Amino acid sequence: MIRVTKQDVDQISYLARLKISEKEFKKYQDELSAILEYADLINKADVSGIKPMVNITGLSDVVRNDEKHPSELLRDEVLSNAPDKKDGYIKVKSVLN
């Protein structure tokens, strides 16, 4: 059963910033549909009265004091892996054409 439509693939690939070629649409529709069909199994579980669990060991709201600390890294180091940079800044393409 194919329930992930071409429009779905179009929409999620846009949200995920991935380009999908024309022939890949069918592949994603098929694969995602098969996996989601399997995942439907969870609808058989009786979760009445069960709350969604976010943290498994029961920690919540772990915060630190709002204090500044010196960086352990130098600016040049931080920029060392950036593919494009200028004058100590990361350079990006224009947002608007």
CA 27 to chain centroid, in Å, comes to 21
When asked if residue 82 is in the footprint of another protein (CB under 8 A), the reply is yes
CB of 27 to another protein, least distance (A): 9
With CB under 8 A, what is the number of residues at the site for another protein? 55
Burial class of residue 62 in the structure, from the number of CB atoms within 10 Å of its CB (0-12 exposed, 13-18 middle, 19+ buried) = exposed
Binding residue for another protein (CB under 8 A) from 2, 6, 10, 11? 11
Q: How far apart are CA 27 and CA 20, in angstroms?
A: 10
When asked if residue 1 is in the footprint of another protein (CB under 8 A), the reply is no
When asked if residue 23 is in the footprint of another protein (CB under 8 A), the reply is no
